[in-house]
């Protein structure tokens, strides 16, 4: 069992993982306006945030963004970028524990014009490769609000297992919604990686 | 949070009170107890200096975070016997995560855990008007699991291999109780039936 690498050493690599169309990179301060726009997008908030939507001032966001960039949060944040460096979304590994070798994963394609084109799936694949392959994590969890059909489907078809259902977890649009808990263990990731991609896509 | 001790609504044996800084040494003792740590904390056990603990405890007592309420559990004669918390508190979603630790072993196996859990549930549902409370139990903590099952919690899931301890992985189980289930449970489990 190896210890997790220090977060900062990971983040100093300019490109963390590269795949066919996208890559994961550290958060870039020069893209802060883009992150601010996503942060204040009610549609994205609806799908990926437990916090009720509320517009945030640029100053307040910039302070939080700087704190995140300083690595004070215990979470690894990434930009999802096209290969030319254009940011299209964000991804994170949170609740990272070097004692328990677990983490929680999230991916948001912020550029909504690029939804439904497989970028989210590629980003999840890169995140899993990073978590299991580079960081040596034993267990990656993910959560989905019950109404987020796209994210649930993506997790299920990426090999995540449903572990539980938190009843009435979220209050939104005048009613309660469940939150579904998923996870993937390293052993399951190895099995998944052993199967050809075409078979996985067909499954 | 009110500063006056909260009388448990349904079990006169136990009182929930705000953390009292005068009890620093008792809390420090429990904080540095490896067996309690094993049962109720995800953090690997590591002795903490009094100075470091004092700083944390000061924060908890005088500058508590808005999403956590920490309590002392007092026995009928006022003896401090344990702690309880309502954490991850969201008044928007009306949910929270709760936990109870009876730190004083002389009070184990005598129903004080049940009484404390009852008091925390009363505070959660009757005073904070929550819709849902959850509880997490490590696979090896039979006492806590039996306690939440006794209180009518439903098992919602199992986080596989969540915890690494003593050279192996253990599951963590997720339980929750909704307000309507709590009200039903209270009518079926009046206080004198304990």
Quick check: A167 and B178 in contact, CB under 8 A?
yes
Nearest residue in chain A measured CA to CA from B164: A100
Instruction: Please indicate whether, in this complex, the C-beta atoms of A50 and B131 are within 8 angstroms of each other.
Output: no
Exposed/middle/buried for B3, CB within 10 Å: 0-12, 13-18, 19+?
Answer: exposed
Closest-approach residue (CA) in chain B for A101: B164
Chain B: residue nearest A181 by CA? B157
> Which of chain B's residues have a Cβ under 8 Å away from the Cβ of A102?
161-162
How many contiguous H segments (helices) and E segments (strands) does chain A have?
8, 8
Maximum distance among all Cα pairs of chain A, rounded to whole angstroms: 48
> Is this prediction's pTM over 0.90?
no
**pLDDT per residue over A118-152, tens digit each?**
999 999 999 999 999 999 999 999 999 999 999 99
Question: What is the interface size between A and B, counted as CB pairs within 8 Å?
Answer: 67
On the CB side of A5, CA atoms within 13 Å amount to 15
What's the sign of the alpha-carbon dihedral A74, B35, B172, B194? negative
Cβ atoms of B176 and A166 within 8 Å: the answer is yes
Q: How far is B103 from chain A (nearest CA, A)?
A: 24
Check CB contact of A52 with chain B, cutoff 8 Å: yes
pLDDT by residue for chain B (194 residues), tens digit each? 444 444 444 456 899 999 999 999 999 999 999 999 999 999 999 999 999 999 999 999 999 999 999 999 999 999 999 999 999 999 999 999 999 999 999 999 999 999 999 999 999 999 999 999 999 999 999 999 999 999 999 999 999 999 999 999 999 999 999 999 999 999 998 876 44
CB A76 within 8 A of CB A105: no
Instruction: Produce one character per residue of A14-24: b if its CB has 16 or more CB atoms within 10 Å, e if not.
Output: eebbeeeebbb
ipTM above 0.90, yes or no: no
**Number of residues that make up chain B:** 194
In this predicted model, what pLDDT tens digit does every residue of A46-81 receive, in sequence order?
A: 999 999 999 999 999 999 999 888 876 779 999 999
Alpha helices in B104-152 (DSSP H): 112-122, 142-150
């Amino acid at each position: 069992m190896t210890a997790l690498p220090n977060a900062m050493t990971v983040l100093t690599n300019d490109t963390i993982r590269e795949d066919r169309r996208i890559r994961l990179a550290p958060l870039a301060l020069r893209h802060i306006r883009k992150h601010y726009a996503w942060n204040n997008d009610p549609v994205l908030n609806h799908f990926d945030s437990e916090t009720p939507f509320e517009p945030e001032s640029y100053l307040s966001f910039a302070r939080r963004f700087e704190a995140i960039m300083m690595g004070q949060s215990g979470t690894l944040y990434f930009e999802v970028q096209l290969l030319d460096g254009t940011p299209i979304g964000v991804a994170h590994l949170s609740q990272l524990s070097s004692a328990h070798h677990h983490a929680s994963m999230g991916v948001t394609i912020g550029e909504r014009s690029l939804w439904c084109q497989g970028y989210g799936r590629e980003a999840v694949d890169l995140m899993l490769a990073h978590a299991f392959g580079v960081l040596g994590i034993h267990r990656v969890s993910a959560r989905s609000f019950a109404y987020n059909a796209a994210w649930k489907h993506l997790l299920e078809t990426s090999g995540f297992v449903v572990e539980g259902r938190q009843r009435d977890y979220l209050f939104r649009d005048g009613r309660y919604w469940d939150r579904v808990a998923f996870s993937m263990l390293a052993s399951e990731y190895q099995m998944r990686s052993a199967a050809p991609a075409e078979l996985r896509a067909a499954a | 949070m009110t500063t006056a001790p909260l009388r448990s609504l349904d079990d006169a044996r136990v009182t929930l009170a705000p953390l009292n800084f005068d009890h620093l040494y008792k809390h420090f003792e429990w904080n540095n107890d490896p067996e309690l740590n094993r049962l109720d904390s995800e953090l690997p056990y590591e002795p903490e200096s009094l100075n470091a603990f004092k700083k944390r405890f000061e924060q908890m007592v005088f500058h508590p975070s808005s999403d956590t309420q920490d309590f002392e559990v007092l026995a009928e004669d006022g003896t401090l016997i344990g702690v309880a918390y309502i954490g991850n508190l969201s008044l928007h979603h009306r949910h929270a995560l709760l936990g109870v630790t009876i730190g004083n072993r002389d009070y184990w196996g005598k129903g004080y855990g049940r009484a404390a859990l009852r008091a925390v549930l009363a505070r959660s549902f009757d005073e904070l008007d929550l819709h849902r409370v959850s509880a997490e139990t490590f696979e090896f903590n039979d006492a806590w699991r039996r306690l939440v099952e006794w209180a009518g919690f439903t098992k919602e899931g199992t986080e596989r291999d969540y915890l690494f301890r003593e050279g192996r992985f253990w599951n963590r189980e997720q339980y929750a109780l909704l307000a309507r289930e709590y009200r039903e449970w209270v009518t079926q489990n009046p206080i004198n039936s304990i």
